[in-house]
Structure 1
Amino acid sequence: MQKNTLAIVLIILGIIVLAFPLAGVVPLSVLTGIGVAFLGIGLLLAGFSDRVESSGLGLLEIVLGLIALVLGLGFVLNPGLFSFVAGLLIYIAGLFLVIIGVVALFTKAGGSRWNGVVAIIIGLIYLVFGYLVSDPFYLGILIGIWLLLTGILMYFQKD
Structure 2
Amino acid sequence: MQKNSMAIILIILGLIVLAVPMLGLVPLSVLTGLGVAFLGMGLILAGLGDRKVSSGLGLLEIILGIIALVLGLGFILNPGLFSFVAGLLVYMAGLFLIIVGIVAVFTKAGGNRWNGVVAIIIGLIYLIFGYIISDPVWLGVLIGLWLLLTGILMFFQKD
Q: Under a length normalisation based on structure 2, what TM-score does the superposition of the two structures give?
A: 0.53
* Structure 1 position 125, deviation (Å): 4.4
* Cα gap change, 1:86 to 1:131, in 2 (>3 Å): closer
Q: Structure 1, residues 122-150: CA drift from partner, whole Å, max 9, x if none? A: 42244367569965739x6xxxxxxxxxx
| Counterpart position of 1:63 | 63
| Counterpart position of 2:75 | 75
The answer on whether the counterparts of 2:48 and 2:62 sit within 8 Å (CA) in structure 1 is: yes
- The SS at the match of 2:52 is helix
* Structure 1 position 57, deviation (Å): 1.1
2 CA distance for matches of 1:137 and 1:32?
18
Letter in 2 for 1:83: S
Matches within 5 A, 1:45-64: 45-64=45-64
| Counterpart position of 2:91 | 91
Q: Structure 1, residues 51-78: CA drift from partner, whole Å, max 9, x if none? A: 1221111111111111100101110111
Letter in 1 for 2:138: F
- The SS at the match of 1:43 is helix
* Cα gap change, 1:42 to 1:80, in 2 (>3 Å): same
2 CA distance for matches of 1:66 and 1:122?
35
| Counterpart position of 1:29 | 29
* Cα gap change, 1:63 to 1:99, in 2 (>3 Å): same
Aligned residues: 117
Structure 1 unaligned regions, length at least 5:
1-19, 141-159
The answer on whether the counterparts of 2:94 and 2:126 sit within 8 Å (CA) in structure 1 is: yes
CA RMSD after TM alignment: 4.0
Q: Structure 1, residues 20-48: CA drift from partner, whole Å, max 9, x if none? A: 99794333222221111111011011011
2 CA distance for matches of 1:64 and 1:127?
28
